[in-house]
Amino acid sequence: MSGVPPPPLPAAGGSTNGMLPKPPGYVDITSSTPGGALPQHLKPPPQRKPLPPSYRRPQNRGKYRNSRSRCSCGRFFCYCLLIFLILLCAVAVVGAAFYIYFQPKLPAFHFQSLKIGHFLVSVKSDGTFLHSAVNATVQVRNPNGKIKYSYNEGDVTFFAVDDTTGDVDLGSTKFPGFNQDTKNTTLLKLKARLSKAGEMVDDTVGSRLKSQFKSKTLKFSVMVKTKLSAHIIGGITVSLPVKIACGGESDATLKRINSGSLPRCSINTLRWIRLH
């Protein structure tokens, strides 16, 4: 009849118990081994034991070391900067106290007098020659009340200043070393002359120097090289090589010097540092 359902299919082995039939090749794993244990090839892999902490890879140790190293470098830099600032402040305080107490001043040099023993320009067949003898007085004054000065033996050179070609040598000499007490003024008397052969100059320069000498408009300069030492109370001594240049300007003519004008001198040390 069309209204009656078909009977169930028989189970494997010919028995029917109301269950669906097993597909071909099906193996019941619970019944294939005694006790219902899984076969060896179907068991899950054993769990790995966790490694001890000593074998674990350090993940943040490098970052920690880098941060600690940066912190140490920054702290060291801050300490160095602090020490430098403290030393700088200490030097500034000591320097200010020294200046207030001693009130140091450089010695003052002035061109006081200049006398020309002879000034001769001779024209010969082999050129023009200058012959001269110079006597000069340079005033050295120590304005300090608590600092003494001393000077080593020095070299002195006289020049006639030509605005076109530069300085012309008038002779050189030496002066002995001397000591200068506080609030003291010392006069250096200097003499120099050229050799008998004279100084060879250009014909035009010789003629110009001769004309300026007659009109007393010839400018002169003196260069002094020595070693200056400052003696401070307590046995402290500071020494420097100095070069003292006097004259060479418009107020250093023979006429103005002998009329009472005192051209000021400049003091240089270490070749390029101008002190005064």
Q: What is the pLDDT of residues 181-234, one digit of tens each?
A: 999 999 989 888 887 778 888 888 888 888 888 888 888 888 999 999 999 877
DSSP β-bridge partners for residue 142: 184
Count of the separate structural domains present in the chain: 1
Task: Show Cβ contacts of residue 275 under 8 Å, excluding neighbours closer than 6 positions.
Answer: 106, 242, 267, 268, 269
Check residues 23 and 55 and name the one with the higher pLDDT. Answer: 23
Task: Kindly report which listed range (128-137, 235-244, 267-276) carries the lowest average pLDDT score.
Answer: 267-276
Q: Specify the DSSP class assigned to residue 16.
A: -
Domain that includes residue 251, residue range: 108-274
Alpha-carbon dihedral 119, 125, 126, 129, rounded to 10 degrees? 0
Is residue 110 within 8 Å of residue 263, measured between CB atoms?
yes
Task: Show Cβ contacts of residue 143 under 8 Å, excluding neighbours closer than 6 positions.
Answer: 105, 107, 108, 183
Task: Enter the pTM of the model.
Answer: 0.62
The reply to whether 177 falls in a domain is: yes
The reply to whether 240 falls in a domain is: yes
Measuring CA to CA, which residue among 158, 190, 180, 264 is closest to residue 228? 180
The reply to whether 226 falls in a domain is: yes
The reply to whether 164 falls in a domain is: yes
Is residue 177 within 8 Å of residue 152, measured between CB atoms?
yes
Distance between CA atoms of residues 104 and 274, nearest Å: 16
CATH classification of the domain holding 256: 2.60.40
% of the chain surpassing 70 pLDDT:
73
pLDDT at 38: 56
Measuring CA to CA, which residue among 239, 240, 238, 244 is closest to residue 225? 244
Q: Answer whether residue 37 shows pLDDT above 70.
A: no
The reply to whether 77 falls in a domain is: no
Strand locations in the chain, DSSP E?
108-124, 127-142, 147-151, 154-162, 166-175, 178-180, 184-193, 199-201, 219-232, 236-247, 265-269, 273-274
Check residues 67 and 169 and name the one with the higher pLDDT. Answer: 169
Q: Decide: residue 129, CB within 10 A, 0-12 exposed, 13-18 middle, 19+ buried.
A: middle
Chain CA centroid to CA 191, Å? 42
The reply to whether 221 falls in a domain is: yes
Measuring CA to CA, which residue among 238, 81, 252 is closest to residue 150? 238
The reply to whether 81 falls in a domain is: no
The reply to whether 131 falls in a domain is: yes
Phi/psi of residue 78, nearest 5 degrees: -65, -40
Is residue 266 within 8 Å of residue 242, measured between CB atoms?
no
